[in-house]
Chain A
């Protein structure tokens, strides 16, 4: 199976930049997703990387290095509403099966 590791908790200040790291086993890996989940709500899609490099989307960017089994999510100009759990998920084999990390709970403080 595929293990996906990410920090359990992070704290950052409003207006700052935070980087959430994710490492995974590379065997059979096809792509990596990042989702945001607010408490009591459904996960929502943030980004998808299948090739090495940086994908930028507004205040959110995601980076992937396939050879190193490493990804990160970069959040800029943090806002209080960014306080949420950020889930790293890998897709392997055929189909749409996602293997999730346990999520990083981000707390944005004043």
Chain B
């Protein structure tokens, strides 16, 4: 079956712009989590959606937001981009509620210039 699909794979944006990233989880998976990965900070949790509801949220400013649709697809949005937002954004889907393996997508490489 198809894995986790993230689009786009690469993105270049200018400071101050906004960006929307998309994630399609594995069919049947209801939980989608987003992570930011940078060389200095490693993988950091942004938020998790389960059945269209945000269930967990990490320590990121309000410029970072997300949502989940009824088909479990998820989007995350970053407004007023800063240079420090340049990172690999990874989406992970899980089948069940808690303590289950997370499957990661290939990520979206965002560069802010």
Chain A residues with CB under 8 Å of chain B are 1, 30-31, 33, 35, 41-45, 48, 50, 87, 89, 91, 93-103
Contact = CB atoms under 8 A, between A and B. Distances in A.
Interface in B31-70: 31, 33, 35, 41-45, 48, 50, 55-56, 58-59
A35 B44 CA distance: 14
Contacts of A42: 4, 90, 104-107
A3 B34 CA distance: 19
Contacts of A48: 99, 101
A7 to B, nearest CB: 13
Contacts of B42: 87, 100-103
B90 A50 contact: no
23 contacts: A1-B59, A33-B102, A41-B106, A42-B105, A42-B106, A43-B90, A45-B102, A87-B42, A87-B43, A91-B98, A94-B98, A95-B31, A95-B55, A96-B31, A96-B56, A96-B98, A97-B56, A98-B33, A98-B35, A99-B45, A100-B35, A100-B43, A100-B44
Given A41-B106, A87-B43, A97 B48 contact: yes
Nearest to B101: A45
Contacts, number: 75
Interface of B: 4, 31, 33, 35, 41-45, 48, 50, 55-56, 58-59, 90, 92, 94, 97-107
A44 B4 CA distance: 12
A64 B104 CA distance: 23
A50 B101 CA distance: 12
A98 B33 CA distance: 9
B22 to A, nearest CB: 16
B76 to A, nearest CB: 15
